[in-house]
Amino acid sequence: MATSGLQHVAAMYAGVVAPPLIVGAAVGLSGTELTFLTGACLFTAGLATFLQTLGIWKIGARLPFVNGVTFAGVAPMTAIVASTKDKSDALPIIFGAVIVAGVLGFLAAPIFCKAIRFFPPVVTGTVITLIGVSLLPVAFGWAQGPNPAAHDYGSATNLTLAGITLVIVLLLRRFTRGFVKQIAVLLGLVAGMIIAIPFGVTDFGPVAEARVVGFPTPFHFGAPQFQVAAILSMCVVMVVSMTESTADMLALGEIVERPADEKTIAAGLRADTLGSALSPLFNGFMCSAFAQNIGLVAMTRIRSRFVVAFGGGFLVLMGLCPMAASLIAVVPRPVLGGAGVVLFGSVAASGIQTLARAGLDKGNNVLIVAVSIAVGIIPITAPNFYHAFPETARIVLDSGISTGCVAAVLLNFVFNHLGKPGSVGAQDVTHPMEAGEEIAVVR
């Protein structure tokens, strides 16, 4: 149970720590504060995993789900940071928005599981693709270095370190199997960090300053603040997150031979949303199920939810050990950039896999995808496109995921639902799988 639980943690660890690293860097947190934020996200991921696997009352799907910080929220959160003049208010604004979105999602869970027909593969695939595409510029920025104003930003040394890390991850994915293959990104980060030591870009200061035992103090970065635009942005993310989780539950239910019915989906969504609402209390972000762990369950055939709950226990312990959390903070940004290309690119590839099963040769699905992706990449390709809009509106508009999701849902409704007697059912929702996994799921 311990080794299998650790394997689940290893498979999703890089995905859990990436969002706080991105958002923390955007806010300008110090190494110590970044360590604290990373530990908080590990801690809250463990609590959310307990809710999902063990469950209480009508909360929790009681399936072998690992929960953690969702990638869907990264781009909107960085947009919130960018639009906040006083960066010390950025995290409290994000936390306030996540709390409201979590509460509203919890209340809407029984209704949402009935409305999933409005989120077929053409919508979910588009959104997942935009998540990956929106995050790739972050990886490219990391590859150049931590500080754009530094003299070595974008230097040959930094780009070489990023390239070496990328090659190591690719080689591990190509020539290894099983557990080692699952943790290829984590091993690539370790190898890249070791290689970077002679270049003098590895700073072990955060580890030396970190305590062995610590607790994520509630509202460490300040009391939550509630801004309408930020709340709307995170509500869109919550819809995306709930859609992904529903698809994951449908897939995992079949893998463990316990098909997820409407009651199970509603309970699972309550766990996701309640975990998200409680997460900011301990300085964490929005949580959702991790798709890569579904592949791990299918590969190992270990279906026990208690094994995954054991992995949640490891996450909680890591969150209570700042020294363990600080290890990721010492990894040089160029090394993170190299691994990030694989990590974020895999998210985009998962979306493309979903779109491949979305029936793009039927009706106007190609048009839905084309327009939605075009709308979604506007903030990436033309960052000042919405400069004339009010600052509050830009929090939503500057998030390609939010605008792309809204466009995909509306276009899908107009072309595939409005005025038509038939509609797409919940069973047609395709779950996002980690890129490269070949897992057959009979539907």
pLDDT tens digit string along 62-107?
888 888 888 778 878 888 888 888 888 889 999 999 999 999 999 9
- What's the token pair of residue 224? 């939550």
Mean pLDDT of 300-315: 83
Task: Give φ, ψ of 231 to 5 degrees.
Answer: -65, -45
Neighbouring residues of 320: CB distance < 8 A, sequence distance ≥ 6: 39, 43, 213, 214, 215
Residue with tokens 């370790």: 190
pLDDT reported for residue 263: 85
Mean pLDDT of 100-116: 86
Out of 204-213, 300-309, 384-393, 405-414, least confident range: 204-213
For the stretch 122-180, pLDDT in tens is 887 887 788 778 778 878 888 898 777 788 888 889 999 999 999 998 998 889 887 77
As a whole number of angstroms, the distance between CA 410 and CA 415 comes to 9
- What's the token pair of residue 134? 């929106």
As a whole number of angstroms, the distance between CA 192 and CA 334 comes to 9
CA distances from 416 to 129, 353, 412 (A): 21, 21, 5
pLDDT of 422 higher than 60: no
Residue with tokens 């040769």: 361
As a whole number of angstroms, the distance between CA 66 and CA 314 comes to 12
As a whole number of angstroms, the distance between CA 421 and CA 426 comes to 16
As a whole number of angstroms, the distance between CA 126 and CA 422 comes to 22
pLDDT, averaged across the chain: 81
The pTM assigned to this predicted structure is 0.68
pLDDT reported for residue 159: 93
pLDDT of 191 higher than 80: yes
Task: Give φ, ψ of 59 to 5 degrees.
Answer: -115, 125
Q: Is the CA virtual torsion 147, 28, 400, 405 positive or negative?
A: positive
Nearest one of 157, 207, 144, 180 to 337, comparing CA atoms: 144
CA distances from 287 to 70, 118, 387 (A): 5, 22, 31
CB 97 within 8 A of CB 277: no
Nearest one of 266, 273, 225, 274 to 249, comparing CA atoms: 266
As a whole number of angstroms, the distance between CA 409 and CA 188 comes to 37
Side-chain-side CA neighbours of residue 22 (13 Å):
31
As a whole number of angstroms, the distance between CA 90 and CA 403 comes to 21
CA distances from 75 to 23, 308, 321, 363, 402 (A): 9, 28, 28, 31, 9
Residue 315: CB atoms within 10 A of its CB come to 28
As a whole number of angstroms, the distance between CA 39 and CA 284 comes to 9
Higher pLDDT, 392 or 358: 358
As a whole number of angstroms, the distance between CA 59 and CA 37 comes to 26
Higher pLDDT, 202 or 280: 280
Neighbouring residues of 160: CB distance < 8 A, sequence distance ≥ 6: none
As a whole number of angstroms, the distance between CA 45 and CA 5 comes to 14
For the stretch 234-255, pLDDT in tens is 888 888 788 777 767 776 776 6
- Within 145-183, residue ranges assigned H as helices are 156-175, 178-182
CB 201 within 8 A of CB 332: yes
